[in-house]
Chains A and B, each alone.
Chain A
Amino acid sequence: MKNTNWRLIYAHTVLIIGVIFMSFPVWVAFSTSTHDDVTILRNGLQFWPGTHFFETYWEVLFVEGGVMKSVLGTTMLKNSLILGIGFAVGKVIISMLAAYAIVYFRFRLAAPLFWIIFMTLLLPLEVRIIPSYEVMAGLNLLDTHTGLIVPLIASATGTFFFRQFFRSVPEELLEAARLDGATPWRFFVDILIPLSKTMIAAILIIMFVVGWNQYLWPLIMTTKEENYTLVIGIKQIYQVLAEGGELPQYQKAFALTILATLPPVLVVLVFQNWFVKGLVESEK
């Protein structure tokens, strides 16, 4: 019995160290963001929250020139939300439709079209950055929401995810529905979509996080400050800090970091079960 106790103490110790390792940086970032610039410059990072919370976040969110030259934190927040939600919703719609076609229909071009979708796995953005930029410029889609979102939603991950899920739906349901006189469209709307509710929720959550966290694509797609997302804003503020000039506003950099982190983290924490289920299911 004694042995077991030691094992448990050891386990808890390891876990607590792990939790500190994973959480400490964010905690320090938050604490530091609530102090003023002089304190930080003089005393370095802060481990306990200070008194300038409202001041810093107010400036970052609502004051012009508070963090960027002109764009407000709220604008970037809005852009991030549009990207996150647009990406998630678009991806779910487009991949559910495609997966339904692939799994439930026998049609001549099924195999080649499936392979085209599969090909997207071989072509991550990073290997086609420059020509992609040129295509977007050619289509006049730079600095637009369409240009930001649409090219991202076509990758195969969502389609594969739904394909896998649809295949696990018992065949008898389709057979029963056919005997019940359901057309392909009715089966999709009456049976398949309601059955996929949990899966849709899971993938919405994951894709919201993925969309929110997009970096490279928005980086090359947005040239105007007013179109920056929070994640891109971070990149810019980093450059400002690096270039120096007046008193570095570290607390604002940290505040922006926290703002960029908070929404996806909240989503993941609140919908933890769906999120984990969706993530793990996508493996199969």
Chain B
Amino acid sequence: MAGVELTGVRKIYPNGAEAVRGVDMTIEHGEFIVFVGPSGCGKSTLLRMVAGLESITEGEISIDGRIINEVSPADRDVAMVFQNYALYPHMTVRGNMSYGLKNRGNSKAEIHEKVEEAAKMLRIHDFLDRRPQQLSGGQRQRVAMGRAIVREPKVFLFDEPLSNLDAKLRVQMRIEIKRLQRRMDVTSIYVTHDQTEAMTLADRLAVINDGRIEQMGAPLELYNNPTTLFVASFIGSPQINLVPVVFDGDKLISGDIALSGFKDLPTDADLVLGIRPDDLTQNGEGEVSLRVDLVEQHGAENLIYGALLGAAAEEGEETEICIKVDQQTLPKIDATLKLGVNKSRALVFRKDNGQRVL
């Protein structure tokens, strides 16, 4: 049975703005789904509609087969972790975690037991009698999760829960969230704009753009086989290299560059060639050249940024590309590197509608 099902869900605000433009989605029981997209794309609105914090203009949302459009947030059997944690500042950690259970009328003993258990699981047992402002960011984050866990909901909702933490803690908490979700086996929806978070956490992720789902699938599927230019450029870090090209029936042409080995592409439209930084390799007699602009040393590998020589570009500008090399490769600034293109992994999109053609 499906965990969460969305059918034709739309959100139109009273002022006419359309935040969600018809979303269909089936989330299996126990699945970890991530909504990812740029800010303002409607991903948070969608999550809040599942939570019951936004009304549903059109369509249906059901949890475990029960339609919940008109069910109040407290009765939907969902729990949410907010971006700024939304802990009640005047209550202790214990008070925060038990408030929802109290409102449900659970017995004192039951509440105590559940809070203790969750606190142990999250390693916040020692802070149960402290107030939120006495805790560090990571601890507050745990309390917020604890508040969600004690309710034993059917669905966990996360609204950018890690964006207020520093980089190191973010990675730590990311791992913890994943581990916890596996252990509890609860259907989860997680909203983020950070594609690394999305890739690492998700069983499946939904890339959302302008109120629509651009593509939904497993992280690797989206990385290897994006169906649109948007998904290709949103997923993957460093970003995919994009070169404007046209097809002459035989070769992909961009300015002075001509790449052979392509066929069955439209000749009557502007195209965009997408190559991931890992798919460009240094190669003595390569087909394209890069003039080095900047080398970023990341430790295990270096990223080299520079201009793709000869590529078509706007007057006075150059097409910037990036390649990934090992840590030993440290070219000088303005040096020219010959590059080979891994054509089997090249992606080609139409420029006008962003649809993938290869």
Q: Which A residues fall within an 8 A CB radius of B?
A: 170, 172-173, 175-183, 186, 190-191, 194-195, 197
Contact = CB atoms under 8 A, between A and B. Distances in A.
29 contacts: A170-B86, A172-B85, A172-B86, A173-B88, A175-B80, A175-B86, A176-B80, A176-B86, A176-B87, A176-B147, A178-B52, A178-B53, A178-B72, A178-B74, A179-B52, A179-B73, A179-B78, A179-B80, A180-B99, A181-B74, A181-B104, A182-B74, A182-B99, A186-B103, A191-B90, A194-B90, A194-B91, A195-B88, A197-B90
Contacts of A172: 82-86
A181 B100 contact: yes
A29 B245 CA distance: 91
A179 to B, nearest CB: 5
A125 B302 CA distance: 75
Nearest to B79: A179
B90 A195 contact: yes
Interface of B: 48, 51-53, 72-75, 78-80, 82-91, 99-100, 103-104, 147
A interface: dominant SS: helix
A183 to B, nearest CB: 8
Nearest to A169: B89
B48 to A, nearest CB: 8
Closest 5 CB pairs of A and B: A181-B74, A172-B86, A180-B100, A181-B103, A194-B90
Nearest to B90: A194
Contacts of B91: 194
B86 A173 contact: yes
A190 B99 contact: yes
A182 B103 contact: yes
B82 A180 contact: no
Nearest to A175: B53
A176 B74 contact: no
Contacts of A197: 90
A176 to B, nearest CB: 4
B106 to A, nearest CB: 11
Given A186-B103, A194-B90, A175 B74 contact: no
B100 A179 contact: yes
Contacts of B87: 176
Given A178-B74, A179-B51, A170 B84 contact: yes
A197 B88 CA distance: 14
Most chain A C-beta atoms within 10 Å of own C-beta, residue among B52, B75, B85, B100: B100
A175 B48 CA distance: 10
A180 B74 contact: yes
Contacts of A190: 99
